[in-house]
Amino acid sequence: MKTDNISIVLLHEHPDYVEACATLLNSQWKRSSSARIQTLNKSCEDLPDSLVLLEEANGEKEVIGHCRLTRIMEDENGCFIESVIIAAEKRNKGYGKYLMFKAEEYAKQLNFSTIYLSTHDQQGFYEHLGYLYSEPVSSVKFSRGNHQVMNSLFSFMKNARSESKSKADMRNKNMVEMKENYPIPKVPPPSPPPLLQNKITCTAICDNTGKYWMKKTL
């Protein structure tokens, strides 16, 4: 892959590429063009925003790749990358890896420390880029400029995590007290379980929609 004729731009700074991005995305994931364009037009500096991969030939720049960064509800220091796509004729040539590298660079510039994603069938590609399997997260589709909604969401998630942790701590405390009051007779340790194959491990973190959730520390 040559890099002297390719570049990355932010969609909120170059809205003239919105229609080309919509066409590229719809070539992989069918959706109403008007709905797709409406979503892309929400790109802004404060996220969500799209990174557009351009290739220049004969003085013309063509959209050959796209990905989108959004915030997430569960981690104020994390962001979510979605709608990652490379034009069909450009795949398996290093463009996807290049686009992901640039997206991670941009996420770090925005002071994010973790990047999350989900995939149905490209987990091997993301493993190669250093992504590990993780818990599901919730992508925020609107800008942080809507402070009231954002604050409500983050407050809700913070309270939910705190409540969940309190319940877990209480369960652990009760278990300790029960063990102290009612000692469990010692029994021989069970035989070690057979080694799990990678496929089984992956299935364990695949949700009911068939998505694999992954993350990477930046």
d(CA 173, CA 170): 5
Which pair of tokens denotes residue 195? 């080694």
pLDDT tens sequence across 101-131:
999 999 999 999 999 999 999 999 999 999 9
Q: Which helix (H) or strand (E) holds 50?
A: strand 49-57
pLDDT of residue 208: 83
pLDDT of residue 81: 99
DSSP state of 196: P
d(CA 111, CA 151): 19
Residue 54: strand pairing partners: 7, 63
d(CA 163, CA 37): 39
d(CA 150, CA 143): 8
pLDDT of residue 33: 96
d(CA 74, CA 164): 13
Average of pLDDT values for 20-28?
A: 98
